[in-house]
Amino acid sequence: MNPRRPAAPSQTRRRQGGPSTRRRMTVVVSVLALASLGLVARAFDLQVVRKQFYQDQGDARFLREMPIAVSRGTVFDRNGEPLAVSTPVMSIWANPAEVLDNADRIPALAKGLGVDAGELKQRLTERADREFVYLRRQMNPDVAQAILDLGVPGINGQREYKRYYPSGPLTAHVLGFTNIDDHGQEGLELAYDDWLAGKPGAKRVIRDRMGHVVEDVEQIRAPQPGRNLTLSIDRRIQFLAYNELKATMEKSGADSASMVIMDVHTGEVLAMVNLPTYNPNAVGDSSASSRRNRAMTDVLEPGSTVKPVLMAAALSSGRYTPTGPLIDTTGGHWMYLGKDIHDTHNWGVLTPTGVITKSSNVGAARIASNLDTDLMYGTYRAFGFGASTNSGFPGEASGYVKPGSRWGLREKAIFAYGYGLNVTMLQLANAYATIADSGVMHTPTFIKGGGNDSKAVIEPRIAQQLLGMLETTTQPGGTAAPYAWIANYTVAAKTGTAHKATAGGYSKNNYGAAFAGMVPATNPRLAAAVVVDNPTKGSYYGGLVSGPVFARVMDGALRLLDIPPDNIGRWYAGGPLQGQNGLTGNKPPEAPNIEEAPPEDESP
Q: What letter would DSSP give residue 92? A: E
Confidence of residue 584 (pLDDT cuts 50, 70, 90): very low
* Residue 7 or residue 140, greater confidence: 140
Query: Which stretches does DSSP call E strand in 75-192?
Result: 75-76, 82-94, 133-139, 155-164
CA distance 473 to 481: 7
Residues 102-128 have a mean pLDDT of: 92
pLDDT of residue 207: 61
Question: From residue 86, how far is each of 71, 151, 163, 559, 601 by CA, in Å?
Answer: 6, 29, 5, 33, 52
CB 251 within 8 A of CB 544: no
Distance of CA 313 to the CA centre of its chain: 34
Neighbours of 474 (CB within 10 A): 36
**Largest Cα–Cα distance of the chain, in whole Å?**
178
Confidence of residue 276 (pLDDT cuts 50, 70, 90): very high
Residues 267-283 have a mean pLDDT of: 97
% of residues, the chain, pLDDT over 70: 85
CB 192 within 8 A of CB 158: no
Would you say residue 580 has pLDDT above 50?
A: no
327-328 and 349-350: which strand pairing? antiparallel
Entry pTM = 0.83
Residues 244-258 have a mean pLDDT of: 97
CA distance 68 to 402: 53
Pick from 148, 145, 154: which is nearest to 102 by CA?
A: 154
Would you say residue 21 has pLDDT above 50?
A: yes
Beta bridge partners, 246, equal: none
Would you say residue 247 has pLDDT above 90?
A: yes
Distance of CA 252 to the CA centre of its chain: 27
Neighbours of 478 (CB within 10 A): 30
Q: Which residues are catalytic?
A: 304
Confidence of residue 451 (pLDDT cuts 50, 70, 90): confident
Q: What letter would DSSP give residue 1? A: -
CA distance 422 to 411: 14
Would you say residue 12 has pLDDT above 70?
A: no
CA distance 398 to 386: 5
Highest mean pLDDT: which range of 35-44, 112-121, 230-239: 230-239
* Residue 32 or residue 72, greater confidence: 72
CA distance 373 to 66: 66
CA gyration radius, the chain: 39
Note the residue count of the chain: 604
Pick from 420, 63, 30, 29: which is nearest to 207 by CA?
A: 63
* In the chain, domain spans: 66-230, 235-280+291-582
Residues 465-489 have a mean pLDDT of: 93
pLDDT of residue 314: 98
Distance of CA 111 to the CA centre of its chain: 39
- Mean pLDDT is lowest, of 175-189, 204-218, 229-243, for 204-218
- Return the SS3 of 566: coil
> Helices H, strands E: what count in the chain?
21, 19
CA distance 582 to 580: 6
Which amino acid, residue 448?
Answer: K
- CATH fold label, 66-230: Penicillin-binding protein 2a (Domain 2) (3.90.1310)
Residues 436-461 have a mean pLDDT of: 95
Residue-wise pLDDT tens digits, 167-200: 999 999 999 999 988 999 999 999 999 999 988 8
Confidence of residue 506 (pLDDT cuts 50, 70, 90): confident
Would you say residue 574 has pLDDT above 70?
A: no
Q: What letter would DSSP give residue 103? A: G
pLDDT of residue 600: 38
Residues 236-257 have a mean pLDDT of: 97
Confidence of residue 206 (pLDDT cuts 50, 70, 90): low
pLDDT of residue 35: 81
Q: Could you give the count of Cα atoms lying within 13 Å of 216 in the half-sphere of its Cβ?
A: 8
- Mean pLDDT is lowest, of 411-415, 549-553, 585-589, 593-597, for 585-589
Confidence of residue 208 (pLDDT cuts 50, 70, 90): low
Confidence of residue 18 (pLDDT cuts 50, 70, 90): low
Q: What is the chain's mean pLDDT, rounded?
A: 87
CB 491 within 8 A of CB 484: yes
pLDDT of residue 199: 86
CA distance 221 to 207: 19
Which residues are within 8 A (CB) of 475 and not within 5 positions of it... i.e. 6 or more apart? 357, 481, 572, 574, 575, 577, 578, 580
**Interaxial angle between packed helices 307-317 and 425-436, expressed in degrees from 0 to 180 and rounded to the nearest 10:** 40
% of residues, the chain, pLDDT over 90: 70
Confidence of residue 589 (pLDDT cuts 50, 70, 90): very low
Outline where 419-565 has alpha helix (H).
425-436, 460-471, 542-545, 547-560
* H or E segment to which residue 209 belongs: none
CB 451 within 8 A of CB 268: yes
SS3 content of the chain, % helix, strand, coil (to 5): 40, 25, 40
CA distance 567 to 282: 46
Neighbours of 578 (CB within 10 A): 13
* Residue 209 or residue 339, greater confidence: 339
CB 417 within 8 A of CB 364: yes
CA distance 219 to 65: 9
Residues 41-58 have a mean pLDDT of: 68
Confidence of residue 8 (pLDDT cuts 50, 70, 90): low
Considering only the top CATH level, what class is 235-280+291-582? alpha beta
Residues 48-72 have a mean pLDDT of: 67
CA distance 583 to 476: 9
Confidence of residue 56 (pLDDT cuts 50, 70, 90): low
Neighbours of 229 (CB within 10 A): 20
pLDDT of residue 286: 94
CA distance 519 to 272: 17
Residues 268-275 have a mean pLDDT of: 98
Confidence of residue 22 (pLDDT cuts 50, 70, 90): confident
Dihedral (CA of 236, 237, 242, 248) sign: positive
Domains 66-230 and 235-280+291-582 share a fold: no
* Residue 26 or residue 384, greater confidence: 384
477 — phi, psi (to 5°)? Answer: 95, -10
Would you say residue 271 has pLDDT above 90?
A: yes
Would you say residue 89 has pLDDT above 60?
A: yes
CB 160 within 8 A of CB 168: no
